[in-house]
Structure 1
Amino acid sequence: MGDINIAIWQANEVGQTVKTIIELGYAPRLEKSTGTHIANIDFVAFEEDSEAGCMGLEEMCQRYRDGRLQMIVIPIQNYIAQSMFVTESIARGVDANVFFLASRIESNTFTEEQLYSFLTPLMQAKYLPYLEFHIADHCNLNCKACEHYSGLVHEEIFTNYEKFERDLHRLHEFIDDIGYIRILGGEPLLNPEITKYIKLIKDLYPKAAHVVVTNGLKLLSMPDEFYDVVRETNTYIWMSYYPPVQNKRDAIEAKLREKGVEYGISELNTEFTMKQVLKPMEGLGHFYHCMQAHCNNLYDGKIAACFLPFTTKYFNAEFAQNLPEDGALDLYEEAMSTERIQRHLFTPFERCRYCSDHSVPVPWEVMQVPSVLSDWVRE
């Protein structure tokens, strides 16, 4: 078949190990079975890093366009910014079919079968670098410009646990490994069944990093059972830090340390960004540069590249608007497949036209009551 050149995403320890496995294990078997010779392996990062031996994204894409690069390998454990790397490459003309996922490295030894199958086409890989889901749509803080529109949810809206359990098992049929899972809201600590969700994702996706994202207002009053489950499942608590919690921060940190759980706290949020618009933008190219386009969200048996297909309904109902609520894929549709899910998550949708590619900073505030359009939409 001839010679091919490969680029590996990130020259860190995992990337270096993947290179060694390809050189010593995968490459000889590929050449023996197909006649394809791997001539050269380089590393790539978003920006060129000569010290680390990485070319930049632009150089990689140019090599691909010139016919000097035939395969791009993403180590499964390099999940941070993984999807952004793929979409930024696609935006520069790289075909999605040249991306391959390197298997998770859990041992120093590999069977023959594992070496032959060490690289899987990304669009066929049963893996997502990231997944998030709501367990409460409503919130106890109700920030202005919250893109989940939590402040517009005027009653308690909890996810149905039994249905969610079925939905996650359905997803697991096609995606059996995830890098990073976040439990969100609204405010997830409002859901009295939160420990069930924590245990469920630990059981189905034990190799993932598990995180509960909270505004912290309820951390001091959560029962011991919550902290026991968080600790036993190695779940991480991430507190988005807002002004109403400033006078409680020390007490919250003392509580988290006392309970022996891993946690992190953001910088104080004194500013939000607003990018929602009512006049649709031309084209959908900005999807490939959007951070939110990598926030794969599971909601009511459907999956989407971000949460807006599921939360826009609250904005539409509040202000009698008709923003598109498209972009979600029903996991129970016939002929569902891993590849269909993967390609869907890398495809822009109509709702994207109502997110500007230029966000505007706004001071953090609690929304007005009753709410007004200017709380949510930029001029």
Structure 2
Amino acid sequence: MKKMRVLVLGNGRKSLQLAHIISAWKEYTLEGVVDYQNINWEKSENIEGKMIEIVSPMKAIEMYQDLSIDAFIMPSLEEDVNNRMYRFLVVNDVSECDILYGQESLFHKVELKQEGLITQYISRDELDTMEIHVADHCNMNCKNCSMFCGLVKEPKYSDFMQTQNSLYILKGIFKHIKRIRVIGGEPLLNKELDKYLYMIRDIYPYSDIRVITNGILVTGMKENLITAFKETSSKLVVTSYLPLMKKIDKINNFLKNKEINYEISDTITDFQKIYDYTGQQDEKLSFNACHWKGACATLYENQIAPCFVPFVIKYLAENFDLNISPSGTMILNADNMNKDKIRKLFNTPFDMCKYCAPRGITSKWEMCDKNSVNNIFDWSI
């Protein structure tokens, strides 16, 4: 059997790990590692006892063009990094079938020689990001909140069992989701948050799990939730709003003492106004200009959508009696789901994009007041 001659893309830790794995396989001959930093070009790396050359991207293309190699293999990295690698190869006339991908499970297997661990990039069984909505309401209620939390009249939580069943369906389609964000509303209001963390980690053992909070309830977290964060290696991301400034040191010390993985954002002083309630924007232009595109696919109970808008815009419509019919969602059904359908959903402009305002329009951050439920311009341009 003829070995496939390959170059591994990237010279970071994971790329070198992939190089070691590939060099140990009988199916491949490792011809080099492609590094995008010129300081390493023409150096060599000891891979499994053999000195392997580090080459520039253009030299890699030349090697492909003169038939010195058969294919490229990239590891599972941040999606934008993988996409840049892929686009670079495609624009240089590398055939899609010669762009391979080492899936995340490859880096966690004791027995490496298993089918499907290396696949064509366009056929990979991974998603970049999924946001899981666990609460519609919030305990802060900002004006211009993208989730319209200040218009949610009663506490509203997602259904745990429906969410769990949906994740199992997704797992049957996508073996790995690189980043899972648990969002609200305010997710710490959900008394089942610890169950969500254990459930997500059980289904997707290698995902980067992050819970996005406004921080108000952090120092009152119960031990079961603290333990869940630590046992599932989940990260708590505290969005620092102005009312939190006097408490931020206390929050920081609490999280540090409890040994929870966390980060605290810079203080939020402005909000982007992301909605146009008139629905007069061009949906294709809005979709292509969206800086969240591809990074906020959302799971809400038994449905998925390219973003959270289809699941929350009902609160704007109901409160201001607008004729807006949410669209762009897909009910997760194990019988007719496949990765092509889902990727097409996430990468296609849809009707809700008409309600997204042009980027760059901001307002001073403020909390809702009694007049906000009557003033549509507290929620829209």
Shorter-chain TM-score tier? 0.7 to 0.9
- The AA in structure 2 aligned to 1:370 is S
Residue 146 of structure 1: CA displacement?
1.5
Say if 2:281 and 2:355, in contact at 8 Å, map to a contact too: yes
CA deviation map 1:339-364 (0-9, x unaligned):
32233222232222332442212211
Where do residues 250-265 of structure 1 align in structure 2 (5 Å cutoff)? Answer: 250-265=249-264
* Residues matched between the structures, number: 356
5+ residue gaps, structure 2, are 42-54
Q: What percentage of aligned pairs have identical amino acids?
A: 25
Contact map agreement 1:167 1:300 (CA 8 A) in 2: yes
Structure 1 residue 298: Cα displacement: 0.6
Q: Which amino acid aligns with 1:158?
A: Y
Cα distance in 2, alignment partners of residues 329 and 223 from structure 1: 35
Matched residue, 2:379: 376
Q: Letter of the 2:183 partner, please give it.
A: L
Root-mean-square deviation over aligned CA pairs = 3.9
* Corresponding residue for residue 290 of structure 1: 291
Residue deviations 1:77-100, cap 9 Å, x none? x125358759988xx999996664
- Of residues 241-250 and 121-130 in structure 1, the stretch that sits farther from structure 2 once superposed is 121-130
For 2:345, the equivalent position in structure 1 comes to 344
Deviates more, 1:133-142 or 1:364-373: 364-373
Distance 1:119 1:106, change over 3 A: closer
- Cα 1:168/1:283, change in 2 over 3 Å: closer
Aligned-partner Cα distance in 2 for 1:102–1:207? 14
SS at match of 1:276: coil
Structure 2 CA distance for aligned equivalents of residues 352 and 318 of structure 1: 20
| Structure having the higher Rg | 2
Cα distance change on mapping 1:362 and 1:211 into 2, 3 Å: same
CA distance in 1, matches of 2:153, 2:192: 20
**The residue matched to 1:128 in structure 2 has which SS?**
strand
Distance in 1 (alpha carbons) for counterparts of 2:218 and 2:212: 11
- The 8 Å contact of residues 84 and 294 in structure 1, kept in 2 or not, is answered as no
Task: Kindly indicate whether residue 188 of structure 2 is the aligned counterpart of residue 185 of structure 1.
Answer: no
Give the secondary structure class of the aligned counterpart of 2:127.
strand
Whole-angstrom CA distance in 1 between matches of 2:357 and 2:210: 29
Q: Is the 8 A contact 1:195 1:226 kept in 2?
A: yes
Partners of 2:86 and 2:184 lie apart in 1 by 26
In the alignment, the residues of structure 2 paired with residue 208 and residue 218 of structure 1 have an alpha-carbon distance, to the nearest angstrom, of 25
Deviation at 1:303, TM superposition (A): 1.5
Distance, in Å, in 2 between the alignment partners of 1:302 and 1:86 is 31
Post-superposition offset of 1:189: 0.7
Deviations 1:222-280, CA, capped at 9 Å, x for gaps: 22221122122222111000011111112212222222211110001111112322312
Instruction: Tell me if the contact between 1:88 and 1:289 (Cα under 8 Å) persists in the aligned partners.
Output: no
**Structure 1 residues 70 and 342, CA gap change in structure 2 (3 angstroms):** farther
Distance in structure 1 (CA, Å) of the matches to 2:93 and 2:317: 36
For 1:103, the equivalent position in structure 2 comes to 103
Distance 2:274 2:303 in 1: 25
1:332 aligns to 2:333 (yes or no): yes
Which segment is superposed worse, 183-192 or 200-209?
200-209
SS at match of 1:283: helix
Structure 2 residue 225 is the aligned partner of structure 1 residue 223: no
How far 1:319 moved relative to its partner? 1.9
Contact 1:220 1:252 in 2 (8 A): yes
Which residue of structure 1 lines up, in the alignment, with residue 50 of structure 2? none
The equivalent of 1:34 in structure 2 is none
SS in 2 for 1:293: coil
DSSP 3-state at the match of 1:231 = helix
Query: In the alignment, does 2:134 pair up with 1:135?
Result: yes
Deviates most, 341-350 or 200-209: 341-350
CA offset digits 1:2-26 (Å, max 9, x no partner): x999784x5422234435655x467
SS at match of 2:135: coil
Mapped pair 1:303 → 2:316: no
Residues 279 and 288 (structure 1), Cα distance of their counterparts in 2 relative to 1, 3 Å cut: closer
Residues 207, 7 of structure 1: CA spacing in aligned structure 2 closer, same or farther, 3 A cutoff?
closer
Gaps of 5+ in 1: 32-37
Identify if the C-alpha distance between structure 1 residues 376 and 342 changes in structure 2 by more than 3 Å, giving closer, same or farther.
same
Instruction: For residues 49-75 of structure 1, give each alpha carbon's deviation from its aligned partner in whole angstroms, at most 9, with x where no partner exists.
Output: 54466989xx9xx99xx9x99977552
Counterpart in the other structure of 2:322:
321
Q: CA deviation at 1:283?
A: 2.9
CA change 1:93–1:52 in 2 (3 A) is: closer
Could you say if the C-alpha distance between residues 248 and 131 of structure 1 is closer, same or farther in structure 2, counting changes exceeding 3 Å?
same
The 2-side partners of 1:349 and 1:254 are apart by: 44
Letter matched to residue 294 of structure 2: A
Give 2:359's aligned residue.
358
- TM-score, scaled relative to structure 2: 0.78
Aligned partners of 1:356 and 1:172: how far apart in 2?
34
Question: Which structure 2 residues correspond to residues 27-42 of structure 1 after superposition, within 5 A?
Answer: 29=27, 42=34
Q: Distance in 2 between matches of 1:187 and 1:165?
A: 19
Q: Is the 8 A contact 1:96 1:123 kept in 2?
A: no
Offset of residue 311 of structure 1: 1.4
Look up the equivalent residue of 1:310 and give its one-letter code. F
Q: For 1:87 and 1:281, how far apart are their aligned partners in 2?
A: 29
Residue 137 of structure 1 contacts residue 185 of structure 1 at CA under 8 Å; is this kept in 2?
Answer: yes
Tell me which amino acid in the other structure corresponds to 1:12.
G
Checking the alignment, whether the CA contact within 8 Å between 2:130 and 2:298 is kept in structure 1 is yes
